[in-house]
Structure 1
Amino acid sequence: MPATELPVPDCHFAIDLGASGGRVIAGRIEAGRLELETIHRFANNPVFVQSTMQWDTLGLWREILHGLTLAAAQCKEQGSMIRSVGVDTWGVDYVLLGRDNQPVAPVFHYRDSRNRGIPEQAFQIVPREDIFAATGLQFMDINTLYQLLSAKFSNAPALETAESMILMADYFHWLLTGKRSVEYTNASTTQLLNPNTKDWAFDLIERFELPKKLFGPISQPGVTLGPVQDSVAQQTGLENVPVVLPATHDTGSAVLAVPAEDFAPENPDWCYISSGTWSLMGCELANPLINDRCAELNFTNEGGVQGSTRLLKNIGGLWVFQQIRAALERKGEAVSWESMVAEADQAEPFGLVIDPDHNDFLAPKDMVDAIVQFADKSGQTKPANNGVLYRAALEGLALRYRVCLQMLESLTGNPIKTIYVVGGGSLNELLCQMTADACQRVVVAGPGEATATGNVLMQMIGCGVLQSVEEARKLVRESIQPKVFQPQNKEAWDQAADAFEKYAG
């Protein structure tokens, strides 16, 4: 007798947009495991228009349509049903739409220079303490609040002509469906959301005299926004496919993919690091934590799935490591990520101590030159070779994690036993071991594709394929083989931590 053919599993499409690139990924459950397949990958390069830095939103939309077309054709060829599609992006950036459903202003990049110095002007209108009490969010120039105030202070006409503000993922959901929405996890990055009511902080918005009409109703992850509109269906083949909101903030999706055994515990004994160009290190809580100590340490309360809170801190992440490579390549020295890690592993430990969050390393013209200059002015030995540079970038990041861990434990009042590292940085085994050593905690690394994984999982929850976050995380644990790193070399890292405190920014 012929073997019984198993049904082809349904597909969910995750559109995962990062600050430097995007992907269209197909996710499905096969034989009890979550499988992801990258269908289309593309660059996301900012565009410089006169003196401004902007996003190429139409270029991204063109790539998304192309990727969805490829994905739809492949799934149909395989006989797979397409259950849903959803978009995640970075936070804080937005699009202003007018009455004609078209953007009324450029879509500015969060690194655009217009944001510099705006928080200090904002504090003259509303004290810093009041802003934190209303939003629980950390203070960064890039926050949506300061971008909008920059437009207001420059008398930009778009604030008056716009009918609504939608964030980046919402913009692409609008292009997909024709329906406007503001998803909760990304709204929580604006510094204009009340984390207790989970609605806009309208009192704060009024004090800053920002147009209230811009701030539409907020939707939660898992909500079905509607089907792909006809014009998109005709181009891509996605007929009658619903758009289901994931946690549209990429970190929100990444945290959903953490392979922990619980969800938003009352007394968390684990924390996460979403590791990439930025590192987001924090705990998942049931409720926001807004107090003077949290404000003093500049931690942030961002929205998570199913009403949870991500108490976290932004850390410079692998930015320094990546920019060392970029600086060398500009000088004609091509190096691979693998060779950089190998040379770092062979370099002498703690030959140079740097802090990835030091102001000298935020946006230098040349990262190698910046590190050499920092070594000179801080009285340290200048790096003798590239391996010293690479190792310093990784060790400094691990030591910054150590400081952040101590802060987290003081805020939550609970000892952290395990650190889950997800995202691209989880693939860097040297960094993971350094993190275990610096923090003297067990590190569990994986999944590497955390954001796309979380995007697909939330779509599955919204479609009823999965019933809960706990079930989703169980699926992650059964689908990956995380690597576990045990802490070592305590005395050496304790000494390095003392030096780090001296050189920290």
Structure 2
Amino acid sequence: MPNFLAVDLGASNGRVLVGRWDGAKFELEQLHRFANGPVHILGHMYWDVLGLWSEIRTGLSKYASKYKEPPVSVGIDTWGVDFALLDRQGNLLGNPYHYRDPRTDGMPARLFNRVTAEKVFDTTGIQFMQINTLYQLFSMVEDNHPQLQAADKLLMMPDLLHYWLTGRKSGEYTIASTSQMLDCSRRDWATGMLDRVGIPTHILPDLVGPGTSLGRLLPEVAAETGLDGSVSVIATGSHDTASAVAAVPGLDPGCAYISSGTWSLMGLEICAPVLSAEAMRLNITNEGGVAGTIRLLKNIAGLWLLQECRRRWQRDGLDISWEELLALAAKASPLRSLVDPDCPDFLIPADMPAAIQSYCRKTGQPQPEAPGEVARCCLESLALKYRHVLGRLERLSGQKISTIRIVGGGCQNRLLSQLTADACGCKVVAGPVEATALGNVMVQAISGGYLESITAGRQAIAASIPQETFEPQPGNWEQALGRFGDLLETGATDRLTD
């Protein structure tokens, strides 16, 4: 039975998992889990990338201690946009900055003095967020940053870790697409645009596609971890969302996906980017996907609001479990109070329940009081935001969507899945929970010749995990959608100012 090692790094934690393939389905086992997060030093935010490297080696060592047979390969996926700079000898030029570091404040507007926003979108197809690699690098240009002046190579986070495993410097396509520095039509670096804003293009690595073998483990890594030196390193869909979408079973035309967690990423899998003025106005993004696809999607503040509410209640002495909270929400009055989950009021409030109550008061709605009422407000509002985004995706793509497939940790929230079906008038299929890790090992299996295609891989994943279907139930959703649309018009949070 061949085994594949997946390293899945998120903004708050990381994991090393083994994916076992029996010829018909996958089975996942978590070997090692560890914390991740920003390190604050002298007013800046960094990633502890050396600490992450140490944890990855620990996870690989745990595999070697438990299994006699070496894995076929290992692959790494991470969050998007962040990067490291290397000198001419391949050494790290300081810890990578965290995407929330304040150095990018005001940078999009300053960059647009050199190249228009329309030109940036027409070239890259990527939504405007100041955390993007483009604005991080431009801040270094504006600051005459010595690291940028000394840099010989830029590597996105998974590319850096693959380099340390193999000694090969490369840039995987899906993670590169999050940078807003890739020409989405040519699928190569947008060197002309980058030259105009002063970003040096000689530091950009050669691009490789998902499934590319980057070589074998370096002898020193094999010796340190106890793994066999024959283990290959595969560039998976190195952006975690690319791996998650690759693992969505039955993602055919007529289906949308939601990768659900703290953030919800709702989109379609298409063949070519959508670069219309309407797509730019709505701040829709065209990220690179596995197997030559484009992920036309919108970022939505997913379960963030409810997570922060629960954290505040716990801080105030109300320790309520998720099961208890959702049961209370299910009993609360429907469609009583609504909020826009993406309203700036909810980005980093000190007291999320109070921020929700204040929003409802300001918009002339009943104020939710009890935890069940607040939770119901959060979940119904999120379901209506899905409906709102779905309409725009349909209009931009020309597709009619009949099924929404939800993956990731949020798909375990059965109430949200049912509310999504009700609000959108679509069938909802929930699962897999471990979409990112499954997509990672699936791409490795295709690269190794164990699966023929992503279609075969998705069929194998469908056979590997339970899925639950939710059919839309009747309710007063059309009237609620009108009220919700009025809230969005007031806040205008779907436009370029996102």
Provide TM-score, normalisation by structure 2. 0.96
**Is 1:493 matched up with 2:482?**
no
The separation in 1 between residues aligned to 2:16 and 2:118, in whole angstroms, is 41
Of residues 451, 456, 465, the one that matches 2:441 is 456
Of residues 20, 29, 34, the one that matches 1:28 is 20
Q: How does 1:161-176 map to 2 (within 5 A)?
A: 161-176=150-165
The separation in 1 between residues aligned to 2:103 and 2:324, in whole angstroms, is 38
Give deviations 1:405-453, integer Å, cap 9, x for gaps. 0001101112111111111111111110011011000011100000000
SS of the aligned residue for 1:315 comes to strand
CA contact (8 A) 1:23 1:38 kept: yes
CA contact (8 A) 1:254 1:451 kept: yes
**Is 1:436 matched up with 2:415?**
no
Give deviations 1:51-73, integer Å, cap 9, x for gaps. 11211111211111111111122
The separation in 2 between residues aligned to 1:358 and 1:308, in whole angstroms, is 31
Aligned amino acid, residue 242 of structure 1: S
SS of the aligned residue for 2:319 comes to coil
Q: How does 1:77-156 map to 2 (within 5 A)?
A: 80-156=69-145
Aligned amino acid, residue 252 of structure 1: A
1:381 CA displacement: 2.1
The separation in 1 between residues aligned to 2:269 and 2:23, in whole angstroms, is 30
Q: Which residue number corresponds to residue 6 of structure 1?
A: none
**Is 1:358 matched up with 2:348?**
no
Q: How does 1:251-262 map to 2 (within 5 A)?
A: 251-260=241-250, 262=252
Moved more, 413-422 or 376-385: 376-385
Aligned amino acid, residue 3 of structure 2: C
**Is 1:192 matched up with 2:181?**
yes
CA contact (8 A) 1:261 1:474 kept: no
Percent identity, aligned pairs only, is: 47
CA contact (8 A) 2:141 2:198 kept: no
Query: Which structure 1 residue ranges, 5 or more long, are not aligned?
Result: 1-8, 263-267
The separation in 2 between residues aligned to 1:136 and 1:15, in whole angstroms, is 28
The separation in 2 between residues aligned to 1:342 and 1:180, in whole angstroms, is 50
**Is 1:183 matched up with 2:172?**
yes
Of residues 325, 344, 355, the one that matches 1:340 is 325
SS of the aligned residue for 2:227 comes to coil
CA contact (8 A) 1:261 1:470 kept: no
Q: How many residues align?
A: 488
The runs of 4+ residues in structure 1 deviating greater than 3 Å are none
Of residues 266, 277, 281, the one that matches 1:296 is 281
1:261 CA displacement: 6.0
Of residues 290, 296, 311, the one that matches 1:305 is 290
SS of the aligned residue for 1:436 comes to helix
Aligned amino acid, residue 66 of structure 2: Q
SS of the aligned residue for 1:332 comes to coil
Of residues 393, 405, 411, the one that matches 1:426 is 411
Give deviations 1:98-157, integer Å, cap 9, x for gaps. 123222133111122222221111111111101011111111111110111112222211
The separation in 2 between residues aligned to 1:19 and 1:339, in whole angstroms, is 27
1:335 CA displacement: 2.7
The separation in 2 between residues aligned to 1:370 and 1:320, in whole angstroms, is 10
Q: Which residue number corresponds to residue 264 of structure 2?
A: 279
Provide TM-score, normalisation by structure 1. 0.94
